[in-house]
Structure 1
Amino acid sequence: MAISRRKFFLTSALAGAGLSLAPGFSFAHSKRSNFQKTVRLGFIGVGRQAMGLLNRFMQLPEVEVTAGADVYEVKRTRFEERVKAAYAARGTQPLSLKVYEDYRDLLASNEVDAVVIASPDHWHAKMAIDACRAKKDIYLEKPLTFTVYEGQQLVKAVRQNGTVLAVGSMQRSAVNFQTAAAHVQKGSLGQIKEVLVHVGENPFPKPFDLNPEAVPAGLDWQAWLGPLPELPYHPNLNPPISLDPVENEKLWAAWRWFKETGGGLMTDWGAHMIDVAQWGLNQDRNGPVEVIPPMGENPLTYRFENGTPMKITSFDEGRQGVKFIGEKGWIKVSRGNFESSLSEISLEKKDENFNYTQHYIDFIESIQRRKDPIVPVEIGHSTCTSCTIGNIAKELNRPLSWDPIAQNFGDDFEANTKLHYTYQNGISLS
């Protein structure tokens, strides 16, 4: 299979450098064991991010796209048209294709084996837990959840239902990030003195200082809000599109930049770059023990049990990325880039070293073979948790002690109240 050849290439690239494939490939089998050749995918949330994922997954011969769901009618129509056009370009048509306003109707369909969830963050946990209970496998966009408590409940749901859940932290499937993490774990840099992680700022304290606008026709705004408290509609929260003339989203939805609706760049980019930092430091399924908010010229800083600091700050050219600094030298990695101060550590700049195709292949192969994907739910949760508690430390503006095993702030009542919020509109995770 092309899948196996691709994975062989990735493994060989690292082995040639005297390294093993960086951790993440776990073969914990679920209750289902029979090989499944074709995977029928449904998409929940079909905005801008989902359109990119749709293009990726439709390139895989083992995938049949059969359904989509969204609270915005025009986006459901666009999804349906794009899927049909893609199949027509192949000289065929989908065996089954339905669109739904309510994602629960999609989950009830017998024509869907797995779902791609690309909804706003505040819906991730509820939709994914419902998918687990419906026995659908899941590709869930990062960050895993909106709150730490949601992540805890999602981990339980995945394991209790034997679900394959892959997190959209696709950098783990690129050779440049794999090579960086593997070298750090191997000790090529010696003892790590500090890790610099550039993600950016935010979240802002309130959604918008803009005048509310009328909800466009075909958008169920209350369904979009779901468990959130009442907020007025603004087009930046759910960017409008047009089919005639064709006009797609002009911006990434701004819900991610505000505390009431997202985690800002701390969770948006942190789910990628903090993820790589913790991966290299062997902190998967674990995390820091202290979070110190920005003070004067000192940036937001995490400390792990061994004392290693991870600083959230820009460095060098300011590109989002990670810089591991050890006693022997440094490795710097970002999208499309790999550099080291050590001449013996290098990576040839080939397309296959920097692309993410393997991440989508790995999800489908994980479903077929009933195994954990390269980024299972526990790793997505530990990464998301670190991002979120960083925001909590900044909000409270004081150092916080964190217990990564108990997943709380000990007896710090004020900080612990920030681990979740009260759902509205009768929605619950139970």
Structure 2
Amino acid sequence: MERRKFIRNSASAIAAGFIAPSMLNYGNLFANHVSANDKINVGLIGCRGMGWANLSDFLIHPEVDCVALCDIDQNVLNRRAADAEKLRNTKSALYGDYRKMLERKDIDIVIIGTPDHWHCLQMADACAAGKDVYVEKPIANSIAECDAMVAAAKRYNRVVQVGQQQRSGDHWHEMKKYIDSGKLGKIAQVNVWANFNYAAILNPIPDSPVPAGIDFDTWLGPAPMRTFNEKRFHGAWRMFWDYGGGLMTDWGVHLLDMALWGMNVTGMPNRIFSSGGQFAYPDNYA
């Protein structure tokens, strides 16, 4: 394998947790003599939360450079630009439109850390632009979008990784081997629990003008147009169907995947049912 291709694949695998800790020092063998031709250039779309966390893990490795940052919030963009400069003592180009960033020929890998409703378009566009992609989970907001993303990766022959890091945890692999051994006997039922309390939208507030420095129309993107509300924006957008799927598509994609993997389930369910309610209505409802 060409060394440049090896480093690119290794950087993607390390970010996803696929390389064992004992191997992490391998990349450091090149730390003092990585040529310009062997550098892997990364561009980040969505800089506030997990996108920045993923980029920080990429930049642990000396062969990886961040050359571009993109965000619709100028305040976040400026802050992360300063953070990136501290990490590497180099300046990244800044963008408000990810499509302009994808025009750069020097970007090898794109990290997508935007809200879920943007994943499909940005991942497909990145693949079409010849970039490999690390996209945060959940991969998308519908099965149709997921199918389109898989098709884009195949059509453009790109390396794509989704943030399902549980699949690479040693303790989960031990669990899988133990279940497959048959020592538990026949398993009739698997329960999955998500014990989190951050899903409720507390203390709703009225809509307000868009804060300075935020391109809210671009943030909405493929979602329905609406006026700005702080409770539907940074931190809380996941709890609205227009942008995410609540805890089910936040932690559910991890925890349910472990049950499906453990039980060797590869197809769709025969039937589903659900129960619940809006127990916070009307005092805590947005």
TM-score range, shorter chain: 0.7 to 0.9
Q: Which residue, out of 272, 278, 293, partners 2:260?
A: 278
Report the equivalent of 2:159.
164
* CA 7–102 in structure 1, closer or farther in 2 if over 3 Å, else same: closer
Letter in 1 for 2:185: G
Separation in 2 of the partners of 1:82 and 1:202?
A: 31
Separation in 2 of the partners of 1:232 and 1:215?
A: 8
Separation in 2 of the partners of 1:186 and 1:208?
A: 50
Deviation at 1:294, TM superposition (A): 2.9
Q: List aligned pairs for 1:18-33, cutoff 5 A.
A: none
Separation in 2 of the partners of 1:162 and 1:208?
A: 47
Q: Which residue, out of 226, 239, 256, partners 1:231?
A: 226
Amino-acid identity (%):
32
* CA 206–235 in structure 1, closer or farther in 2 if over 3 Å, else same: closer
Separation in 2 of the partners of 1:210 and 1:152?
A: 37
Separation in 2 of the partners of 1:207 and 1:104?
A: 35
Deviation at 1:136, TM superposition (A): 0.7
Deviation at 1:52, TM superposition (A): 1.5
Greater RCO (CA < 8 Å, at least 6 residues apart): 1
Q: Which residue, out of 141, 144, 159, partners 1:146?
A: 141
Deviation at 1:57, TM superposition (A): 1.3
Deviation at 1:288, TM superposition (A): 2.1
Q: Which residue, out of 285, 293, 296, partners 2:274?
A: 293
Letter in 1 for 2:256: I
What is the TM-score with the length of structure 2 in the denominator? Answer: 0.79
Report the equivalent of 2:105.
110
Q: Secondary structure at the match of 1:131?
A: helix
Separation in 1 of the partners of 2:94 and 2:172?
A: 37
Deviates more, 1:124-133 or 1:59-68: 59-68
Deviation at 1:208, TM superposition (A): 9.1
1:134 aligned to 2:116? no
Report the equivalent of 2:51.
50
Report the equivalent of 1:254.
236
Q: May I ask how many residue pairs the two structures share in their alignment?
A: 253
C-alpha RMSD of the superposition: 3.1
What is the TM-score with the length of structure 1 in the denominator? Answer: 0.54
Higher strand share: 1
1:68 aligned to 2:69? yes
Report the equivalent of 2:119.
124
Deviation at 1:80, TM superposition (A): 1.1
On the 8 A contact 1:117/1:138 being kept in 2, the answer is: yes
Unaligned regions of 5+ residues in structure 2, if any? Answer: 1-5, 24-36, 279-286
Deviation at 1:196, TM superposition (A): 1.1
On the 8 A contact 1:69/1:100 being kept in 2, the answer is: yes
* CA 7–115 in structure 1, closer or farther in 2 if over 3 Å, else same: closer
